Structure 1
């Protein structure tokens, strides 16, 4: 497989996070049997660790303060002897090289109101039976795509999947950063709209590793509105990986910011723009608004390409809709040509090389990709274009 085809496959596989529902799944979604309920209850006992303190939000979601050393991550067979690293061994200094016209959402705004976890604990969202039911649908639909890719080659069925991104298609990416503009697009129950920043790599498709972080509107995963999300896999979405902390793997270290948290405030069209700074560095660490939220230990990716560096970095938007529905809006719902204050963006784009150096990517290394340009577009902004050195505008009204 040549490099261009490989990068196409990597981009397609990054859209796996959108393979959430289909007509068949929609029709088969039903009430679990008594035997299935008992199995789910057994799973819940394993997933939801004993809480030292618990809190219920206005959205009727329960968050638990869990002993940092007894969290779900350590149920993973590769992490049973893992020692928690509260801080990364080194943090790259990401240079700020742009005129920041938007307002950053800070750590205090991401904290859940009235929730304070004690020292030595981390905050996690409690999993429910409904979460497990939804997860079963996601896995049954989305995790077979790599085999489809391998068998069909370039004839990949992208029905219902749409993306508009700026991609860095060069080897040796050890980290990325970006400030993602916050919007809250309206979607139906079985649609998805998200803004993401991702890295991916691997010597073979079945060993593809990827990590994504950003915001998502997805009623199947989250009740409503815009939520912070992560996704990872170490084997081409075959057996490993999940969203947030719905499976062992991600080691939470923050007692303030949980994965899956509702994000607010959001941007206003032709008004104040809100953005959240995100970074993935040293392959495994996730920082949100300057706070080290947690990390994916390198042992999870021991057989994959991410330990030695990624092949692709990507910033932009993605949506999904069943074939029976018109596709939802992406970002603000407006095309990039409308510019700042009206179109969604990711600014302050940087990459980290294998030496741990944070760099502004050269202009020729970034390309935009639009799967459905009539409905969604991406525009790479650089140097002479105000107001940033490196950024991407993305989005559109949908309707495909």
Structure 2
């Protein structure tokens, strides 16, 4: 150790990083210096991000202050871009473009993931992802703006194109974006005189798989498809985008869909920092052992989306990239980091999933808590109850927003604070809006 107290540096404050920092802050009790390196000063509760884009929740409701909820943890604002394993040093760039370094005795890599790109012409230029708060705020403004421009348009074809929204990827995120999005645009159309008598806004949900939510239980898939089709969403499985342009998207079946909105939810890939380290990876994820340690580097741990954690409940496989696993891995990583410093015993990570919940907006949801299939208003109540329980803060504010949304009209205003060029699809930092330099 180079200091009187060991310095533990945690890179990333997603589900894994936040839980690791919180657990360490509760158990270390001043015995170690805990430093959290993150590009912004909040933990983002990603499962409720679609509700921000749909105008239900205000952005700060799902943004939990790191300094306010992690006592004993020092926050350093910055984006890590290099890890020197020999010197035990992390290099980063802060929000004002200044370079900095952090020496460490223990390092926990929880850098998460970024948008997954496919080699489809035009997608990088015309599509937008859905990984961070800037993208959600942009989508909220963009949807509102397109409806307002459509209401003022005299050309029926332009009006139809501006009120057509294409979501690619019918996984967890894409399904929720489409489910909440169609309710949002219906509300906007009812408030807009220019759209009130025209056709409803159109939503398409595309996926190359043969069903919605292909990674989840088939019963959840059937419930979600029934609800979306009932709302008029055009669900197309076995379909993908062949090309994207400024005027619309060309599907692989030859149909061209006039649209000004392409929302890319095809999945995620590990943060590029993992590749730059020169360590063994599994499909881009850093290889670790069952104790979340990096082989050959006993001082380095990794978990969450960035790590290929062996799934002891399914021998030969790694844990999926879900918040449920990331959160629990963060706790285990904290325990094992403490054990490596001489406090307690290490523990292997093992977790059987407890089921999944998909919020479909309104009073609809698809859920299987403890693998008991639920749908309808009861599933919605269980889903919202779970989110309130899982959030580390802001519970009362979130519940208040839900109550107000149930009794008041949806607010349809676009502030224009996040522009299209600020949230490119091909970015290593979806959690930070690009600014002019």
TM-score (norm: length of structure 2): 0.19
Bigger share in strand: 1
TM-score (norm: length of structure 1): 0.21
Greater relative CO, 1 or 2 (CA 8 Å, sep 6+): 1
Query: Which has the greater radius of gyration?
Result: 2
Bigger share in helix: 2
